[in-house]
Amino acid sequence: MTTLRPSMEDRGKMLTSVVEEIRRAVTRNISGAQLLHTLLRAPWLYGLLKVYDCLLDFKIMDHRPTFPDASGLAYQIMDDLKTVQCSDEGRELYEILQSPHIQALLSSHDSIARLDYEPVLPPLPEELPGDQDAMRIVCLVKNNQPLGATIKRDEETGEIYIARVIHGGLADRSGLLHTGDLLLEVNGNPVEGLEPEQVIQILIHSQGTILFKVIPNKPQTTATNSSVFMRAMVDYSPQQDWSLPCPDVGMSFRKGQLLEVVDQTDGHWWQARRLPTTSSCAGLIPSTSMLKSKQREQWWSQPLPIDTCIRQGVSRPVDEKADEEPLNNDEAESDVINGLYLAGFRRSLRLWRRMAYRGCRLSCSSCYSCSPHSTSLSNPYEEVVLYQRSPQENPRLIVLVGTSGVGVNELRKNLIRMKPSLFKGPIPHTTRPMREGEQTGREYHFVTRELFEYMVCNNRFLEYGLCRGHLYGTSSDAIREVLKKGRICIIDAEPHSLHALRSRKLKPYVIFIRPPERDVLRLTRQHARILTSCCSCRAYTEEDYEELEEASGLMEMKYRQLFDRTVENGRLEEATAELLSVIQEAQTWKRAGWGDLHNLLLDYTPPLCC
């Protein structure tokens, strides 16, 4: 059965009609029509169609050789012509078959008939060693971007090999270069006898296509690297690290920044990215063991640090008696706002933080961050996971941290007053005797001094202190009581106590309250009063503003790795709205492994203290 196909003239007419239709579309300004019109009018397209037609015609004609040995048949005919008396036509045929051109034509015919036209490789020499390494040629296109790999020289053999492939770089995306590959040539230049710096200069001055001749490293069965998210607990600068193998690919980070660690195969140097990031290429950071070693060297090699513990309140010896105002009982114990009772805001509770005496948790001698065994030294990275609270879980504890005078208490009070059904503060404990009109469990949990000291001994208080001869403190039980009722417990805490708060049950969300610029600070605090350690109130002075900024900067520098967010308290209404928005965020990062031994001990209440 013969297949009917349009002739070349018919296909030409069809193409002409298509071009005409596209031309009309161009006049109607149809999107993309101009590009298609230019494409169909291209001369190379017409030539391609002609080649296609020729190949299609050849396929339909189905040309096959009728005899695979035409040369042998020609020689047989020539032998027969020699044995007979030939006519003029026979002699002419003999001369034609004997001509070199006809013999070459018949030989080509036989080669095509036998499909004997593919190249034949020479046989391998017998003396070739069996353990000869295979060589590979790698072609990469480099356009004003780093290669994304580091090289190293073997001190014993002098060979240069790929020391590290940076995750997300050009070499990693190509999948052609691997760690351990032996480098032989770069763009035809042998690297034997060269220093790594000389090879790097060749790569720097190479643009476009780069050809590598390498011997692949023997495949190794390694586990697939999965990304791990970590929070930096220390600062790191690659420019100040002399041990970094390649400073150009080092990545700096600060306390509190989120890192995505993408490769931990090297025991000393990890590959990571800062979050959030728009770059796909990772950088080098020291591993946990490497960073611990560096911190120990720096700790013991440096002179003793000066006392940088953050002191709350006014420590300067000024003449306060002239502008101090004594507190009356009504002002000092104001707990009711618009008919709503607010527990935990009495000034006597806050005064102990400004007194000279501190509990053992707040003393400078036992300050966790001032010793060589601090969390930042023992754990320079803290693994975190993305957290979203399920409906069955208790709300997270909200912790506000800030220096005295920055307005932490006012922000906390505003939130509870705005949404009393959502926010609540814990009811503190005290050894002070109950006054007339007070109720236990409303203003305070009134307990005896023996019971208070028993709770201190059993680590039941997150922080506590002494004021006017009475003990005051915030217990973990009071916080859990608020959370179990489905309300968000919001507290203000000293930064020293954050380590005790970071438990798997509380899962605290720590927000640092920062003061605004000096002009805004002076404008918003011009009618405010400061509570001094002498149990009195007075107006703010310029020295108070300066001390507030200095103490806040010092606190942020030392503890920012523990802060989840930062809110600036300039105007109270705006800061309250921002704080409310931050708290209501659905997702955030939390520490992975809340259930470690340290936190389990914090969550566990021992039955007896000896």
- Contacts of the segment 314-320: beta carbons below 8 A, 24+ positions apart: 314/530, 314/532, 314/533, 314/544, 314/547, 315/547, 316/543, 316/547, 318/543, 320/532, 320/534, 320/536, 320/538
Dist CA 405 CA 540 (whole Å): 9
**pLDDT reported for residue 307:** 40
104 burial class (0-12, 13-18, 19+ CB within 10 angstroms)? exposed
pLDDT band of residue 567 (cuts 50, 70, 90) is very high
**pLDDT reported for residue 225:** 64
Residue 73 has pLDDT above 80, yes or no: yes
Dist CA 164 CA 157 (whole Å): 19
Domain 229-301 has CATH 3.40.225.10: no
Most confident of 245-259, 440-454, 493-507, 514-528: 440-454
Dist CA 388 CA 393 (whole Å): 10
Q: What is the DSSP letter of 313?
A: S
| Equal CATH topology for 394-422+488-591 and 427-486 | no
Dist CA 430 CA 409 (whole Å): 19
As assigned by CATH, the class of the 427-486 domain is alpha beta
Q: In the numeric block, which tokens belong to residue 459?
A: 């680590």
CATH for 394-422+488-591? 3.40.50.300
Q: What is the DSSP letter of 338?
A: T
Looking up tokens 């806050």 gives: 350
* Helix pair angle (100-113, 70-82), 10° resolution: 140
Contact criterion met (CB below 8 Å) for 246 and 269: no
Residue 337 has pLDDT above 90, yes or no: no
Contact criterion met (CB below 8 Å) for 45 and 36: no
Residue 142 three-state SS: strand
Least confident of 193-202, 480-489, 502-511, 525-534: 525-534
pLDDT band of residue 527 (cuts 50, 70, 90) is confident
Model confidence pLDDT, tens digit, residues 10-23: 666 666 777 777 67
207 CB neighbour count, 10 Å cutoff: 10
Smallest CA-to-CA distance from 183 within 132, 248, 137, 247 is with 137
pLDDT band of residue 130 (cuts 50, 70, 90) is low
The mean pLDDT of the chain is 77
Distance of CA 221 to CAs 176, 181, 215, Å?
Answer: 17, 15, 18
Triad 503, 493, 521: Cα angle to 5°: 140
Structural domain spans, the chain: 8-58, 70-113, 136-215, 229-301, 394-422+488-591, 427-486
pLDDT band of residue 447 (cuts 50, 70, 90) is very high
pLDDT band of residue 347 (cuts 50, 70, 90) is low
pLDDT band of residue 219 (cuts 50, 70, 90) is low
As assigned by CATH, the class of the 136-215 domain is mainly beta
281 CB neighbour count, 10 Å cutoff: 19
Distance of CA 502 to CAs 397, 400, 498, Å?
Answer: 10, 14, 6
Kindly state the percentage of the chain with pLDDT values over 90: 12
Most confident of 61-65, 115-119, 520-524, 534-538: 520-524
Distance of CA 58 to CAs 11, 55, 63, 109, 225, Å?
Answer: 17, 5, 7, 17, 55
Residue 43 has pLDDT above 60, yes or no: yes
Looking up tokens 């489905």 gives: 486
Largest pairwise CA distance in the chain:
152
The dihedral formed by the CA atoms of 260, 262, 184 and 191, expressed in degrees to the nearest 10: 20
Dist CA 387 CA 257 (whole Å): 17
pLDDT band of residue 610 (cuts 50, 70, 90) is very low
Q: Is this model's pTM higher than 0.75 or not?
A: no
Q: Where are the beta strands (DSSP E) in 468-554?
A: 470-475, 488-492, 509-514, 529-531, 536-539
**pLDDT reported for residue 149:** 87
